[in-house]
Structure formats: structure tokens, C-alpha cells
Amino acid sequence: KSPLAWLKVFSAAHASIKSPESPDIIIQECGIDCPGEMATFMRYIQPDIAIITSVAPEHMEFFKNMDTVAHEELSISQVAKKTIFNLHDIDEKYHNLIVGNRVSYGDESADVFLEIKKTTDTGCIVNLKRSGETSQDINISVLGKHNIRSITGAAEAGLACGMNIEEVAAALTKIKPVSGRMNILRGIRGCTLLDDTYNASPIAMENSLKTLYSISANHKIAVLGDMNELGETSESEHKKIGEICDPSQLELLITVGKMTNKYLAPIAEKNGCKVISFDTALETGEFLKNSDIKDTTILFKGSQGGIYLEDAVKELLLDPSDAEKLVRQSQSWKQIKAKFYDSFSQSQK
């Protein structure tokens, strides 16, 4: 966010390069925003293991269609010695694009999966299953089948690196949710906050709602913000989310942002949901803080740019010090958000 911040990054990289220690494993994320980026990565990176987590409609203003996204993301398998891929979140019609030595993870039909035996208030009890082997019970402090699938990908990577199934099982017990990724926080008046505010895509939004539906709770509220960077598909994707908003599961749906308010909210209302719409996260937080949310589980999910639902979560924290567990709390981010809220207020005058 500043030249000084980048100087620290480069200094740390330089120190790492000059270090006499040789790492056993290097983990490199290859995130792509537009066509051709994966080819650039592959000029420098030929991984022993590639993990492909999903093929989803993101950055569609650059990719235009899902076929282009799939060819771009799955091309990493051409240079990887082994590819571990998410069977559930990659459409079957694209599986033939994953070449070479490959292993699938996901649900029971995959090569490796985590069987959920029980869902608790703080996570899940699971078993790791692969090639006829089953681990002991594993307590994982994570909610949501989509998050469990991600953990399964990490488990298979551990197995591929030489760990045995019980060593992997022991390591999985140490996993904790990261900020803004379905993090469970205590709220005021006995409410439970599901902080999934880091970002949002159609698949992630759907998975978050399904996780909320799977939880046993007296009352449930979903706070959904815009999904950004969807290009020409934005209207249809927001409408699709509105279609899966279930009035039998949601006591209230709150939408935040132009796209959710214009396209998602009307579809959800047509389904029978009670819907309230706001322009900003600050308005949302203020409304909920003054509402009857006793014993209510509240999901927060939306993109970052112009949405910032973590600011609504912040208003409802039982322990104000838990604000450090939220995303985008650095001074630079606070300045960005302050300018956004100020500009929004000015535009409303």
C-alpha cells in the first residue's frame, strides 16, 4: 500500500535469498487476473506438486467466459510432476484439461476426502480417507464443507511429501480459521458471528450460505454484500444467489451494495425471504446493533472493494479486542475505507 511497505517486502526477500539455509519446501501461490498470466508463471515455476482449488467465475471482465478461465488455470498441470485438484469445485467437463499424474480431493467420490462425522459449534469431527486407509477421529476448528475440502487438498499435499496418514491427521488438529474466512466470533447479546468477509465469488457465496444452513441455531441472519469483478455475468450471478436464499433457514436477509440490492434482494424477496437493504457496512452494523439478535447466528459475506463487511462485524463484537482478528485493519486500509465512507456520504447529499 506504500513504497515503505514494498521496501520491507524486498528486504525480506533479499535476506531470504542470502540465507545459508536451504528450505525443504517452497509454497508459491499462482493467482491469475487475466489471460496469459499462468504461462508467465510457468516460465519460472515447474512445481513438484500443483494444487488446483477451483475453477470459478472471477475477474470475468478480463476472461469473458468460463472456458477461458479453465484453460488458463488448469494449464499449470502441464509442467507439474503431480497435480492435486478439487473434484467438487471444478466442472467435470474441464477434467480432461488436467494432464499427467493427478489425484482428486473433495467428497466421497474423490481419491482422498475428509468424512464429516459430526458438526459442532466450534468446528467438525472428521476422518481422513485415502486408498483404503482411514485415520483416527480429527477435531478441526473449521466450519463448512467447502473449507473441509480445502483442508483435504492440504492433507493430500502432506501425504505426497512423505507424511503418513496419522501424521497428517495430527497436523490437521492445529488448523485454525484465518481472518475473514468463516471465522467464528462471539457477538453481543449472545449472538454468534460467522466472519467470512475476506472476499466473495459466486461459489464462495453459495458455500457460505450452505454452511449457515447446516448449523443448528435458534435464529439465522445472512448479511450479503456485492460480488465484485464479475463483468457481464454480474447481474445473473447475483440473481442466482438470490434464488438459493431460503426463507425456511433465514429469519432475515440483509443486502449491502448496488448489485445485491438491485438484483439479489428482489429474487430473495420473491422466494419469501424478509429482506432489508443498506448501502454500506456501517449502516448495517448500526442496524444490527440496535436489533434483537439474542442467540442469533449471523453470516457476513461480501467482496472487499466498496463493501467492507468487516466493519459491520466490528460493531457487534462482544470483545472489542477481537477486532484484531478482522481483515483490513491496518492503518492504510482504515484510511482507504474512511475515504470511501466519506465519499459515499458526500454523494448522498
- The answer to whether residues 168 and 268 belong to one domain is no
Instruction: Assess if residue 17 is contained within a domain.
Output: no
- In terms of residue numbers, what domain contains 61? 26-106
3-state secondary structure the chain: CCHHHHHHHHHHHHHHHHCCCCCCCCCCCCCCCCCCHHHHHHHHCCCCEEEECCCCCCCHHHHCCHHHHHHHHHHHHHCCCEEEEECCCCCHHHHHHCCCCEEEEECCCCCEEEEEEEEECCEEEEEEEECCEECCCEEECCCCHHHHHHHHHHHHHHHHCCCCHHHHHHHHCCCCCCCCCCEEEEEHHHCEEEEECCCCCHHHHHHHHHHHHHCCCCEEEEEEECCCCCHHHHHHHHHHHHHCCCCCCCCEEEEECHHHHHHHHHHHHHHCCCEEEECCHHHHHHHHHCCCCCCEEEEEECCCCCCCCHHHHHHHECCHHHHHHCCCCCHHHHHHHHHHHHHHHHHHC
Looking at the fold, whether 100 and 115 belong to one and the same domain comes out as no
Same domain for 315 and 284:
yes
The mean pLDDT of 216-224, rounded to a whole number, is 95
265 and 311 assigned to the same domain: yes
Among 15-19, 113-117, 168-172, 340-344, the range scoring the smallest mean pLDDT is 15-19
pLDDT band at 31; cut points 50, 70, 90: confident
pLDDT band at 349 (very low <50, low <70, confident <90, very high): low
Q: What does residue 256 show for φ and ψ, rounded to 5 degrees?
A: -135, 115
Instruction: Say yes or no: 221 and 322 in one domain.
Output: yes
Residues 229 and 312 in one domain: yes
* Closest to 250 measured CA to CA, from 264, 233, 269: 269
Give pLDDT tens digits for 45-59: 999 999 999 988 777
Select the more confidently predicted residue: 31 or 276: 276
Which of 176, 194, 227 delimits the end of a domain? 176
Q: Which single residue is written with the C-alpha cell 516460465?
A: 43
Q: What percent of the chain has pLDDT over 90?
A: 72
Mark which of 176, 198, 219 sits at the end of a domain: 176
Cell numbers for 226: 456485492
Question: Which three cell numbers mark 93?
Answer: 467437463
Q: Which of 176, 192, 226 is the last residue of a domain?
A: 176
- Give a yes or no: residue 74 inside a domain: yes
Residues 166 and 228 in one domain: no
Give the pLDDT confidence score for residue 5 in this predicted structure.
73
Q: Can you give the pTM of this predicted structure?
A: 0.75
Q: Are 310 and 285 in contact (CB under 8 A)?
A: no
pLDDT of residue 348: 66
Confidence of residue 38 (pLDDT cuts 50, 70, 90): very high
Q: Flag the least confident range among 5-14, 87-96, 287-296.
A: 5-14
Percent of the chain residues topping a pLDDT of 70: 97
* Structural domain count, the chain: 3
Whether residue 10 is contained in a domain is answered as no
265 vs 176, more confident: 265
Residues 119 and 140 in one domain: yes
Mean pLDDT for 244-259 is: 98
